[in-house]
Amino acid sequence: MAATPPTAGTTPTTRSIPTTVTITGAGGQIGYALLFRIAAGDMLGPDVPVRLRLLEVPQGLRSAEGAALELQDCAFSLLADVEITDDPAVAFDGCNLALLVGARPRGPGMERADLLAANAGIFGPQGAALGAHAADDVRVVVVGNPANTNALIAAASAPDIDPSRFTALIRLDENRAKGQLAQALGAPVGDIRNVTIWGNHSATQFADVAHATVGGRAVTDALAERLDVDVAAWLDDTFLPRVAKRGAEIIEVRGSSSVASAANATIDHVRDWVHGTGEGWTSAGLISRGEYDVPEGLVSSFPVRSDGTGWQIVEGLEIDDRARRLIDASVAELAAERDAVRELGVL
């Protein structure tokens, strides 16, 4: 592993040594939506200089180069340096934060699991390069789909990195769930807390509002007061599928998969990981150590808090029969993805 500079890292302190942020697939759509916000300080804060390393495949380099020209033209005071490469060893050298975005997106009619074979070959070598070259304090967020299983592959390929440093992006699903609840309740989205996404970033995910609050009140009570329908039926028949299939809805309406909202969720995920979650919890894909009976080793979404140093799974939440059934269904899909990857010989 590359040596960590004395004051480098991702803790939210003012420092003169920039944090090295590597973005894979930086020449793609999400990359373009991420770069300018990171350089503006939206992710790590207004006092933290960043050094950007953009990793692309050879055919994506020109697009990344174009983005780098525009970054220069923005004259961001926090942007110390931009390096573009198609070599993972260079891209991950001394990397403090790795945003693994580069992968093939799904098109209309595809499920995210259809991308397994196409994308499995990317995350093994990138995990190995992280293990060989990243800084000791590296934190990794996998965005490229299927995000949970890609994170599992990357972590398994970097045995010298603490597996808790590998995460999968689920925040987009949580943000979508909060957006739907805010609309149904006629409430400000910022008043909604403790929505949990369990399982896979896929159509089987479970958006759980059993512990969620709006302005301090139980969301389920507020929904019962506001909606003229049975709340349990609304949650099962309207809310859950709307959130779980939102990615497909975006693909159908836009003609390509979500970009700005995915980049925004990535920034939310890293900001909370690095600066802490404050009140309430959020959701992230983490390697299970058996919490909530999710089999050890799978990368599943859980309710999590961060104190700035790392994610901790919120334990002890009551799981009723409906929740158990829905969590188990999504976790079964994660186990099937892991088995499929094993069959491909990637794990």
Q: What residues are annotated to the active site?
A: 201
The CB density around residue 74, as the number of other CB atoms within 10 Å, is: 12
145 binds ligand LMR (CB under 6 A): yes
Pick from 106, 171, 211, 338: which binds ligand LMR (CB under 6 A)?
A: 106
Q: Is 55 in the site for ligand NAD (CB under 6 A)?
A: yes
Q: Give the N- to C-terminal CA distance of the chain in Å, as an integer.
A: 22
Characterize the bridge pairing of strands 282-287 and 217-218. Answer: unpaired
Pair type for strands 196-198 and 192-193: unpaired
- How far, CA to CA in Å, does 47 sit from each of 6, 114, 337? 17, 41, 41
Copy the structure tokens of residue 179.
Answer: 């957006």
Q: By CB under 6 A, which span of 55-63, 256-264, 283-291, 330-338 interacts with ligand LMR? A: 256-264
Residue placing its CB nearer to ligand NAD in the complex, 57 or 229: 57
Query: Binding of ligand NAD at residue 272 (CB under 6 A)?
Result: no
What DSSP string describes 179-193? HHHHHHHT--GGGEE
The binder of ligand NAD chosen from 22, 29, 149, 283 (CB under 6 A): 29
How many residues make contact with ligand LMR (CB under 6 A)?
10
CB 51 within 8 A of CB 23: no
The CA-atom distances, in angstroms, between 183 and each of 38, 189, 255 are 29, 8, 24
* Pairwise CA distance, residues 51 & 73, whole Å: 16
Could you say which of 63, 213, 258, 283 contacts ligand LMR (CB under 6 A)?
258
Residue 25's binding partner out of ligand LMR, ligand NAD, none, with CB under 5 to 8 Å set by partner kind: ligand NAD
Stretch that binds ligand LMR, among 74-82, 124-132, 228-236, 255-263 (CB under 6 A): 255-263
Counting contacts by CB under 6 A, is residue 172 touching ligand LMR? yes
Bridge-based pairing of strands 311-313 and 299-306 is antiparallel
**Tell me, what amino acid is at 230?**
D
Contact between 285 and ligand NAD by CB under 6 A: the answer reads no
Using CB distances below 5 to 8 A depending on partner kind, what does residue 144 bind out of ligand LMR, ligand NAD, none?
ligand NAD
Nearest distance from C-beta of residue 321 to ligand NAD, angstroms = 29
Q: Which is nearer to ligand NAD, 9 or 88 (CB)?
A: 88
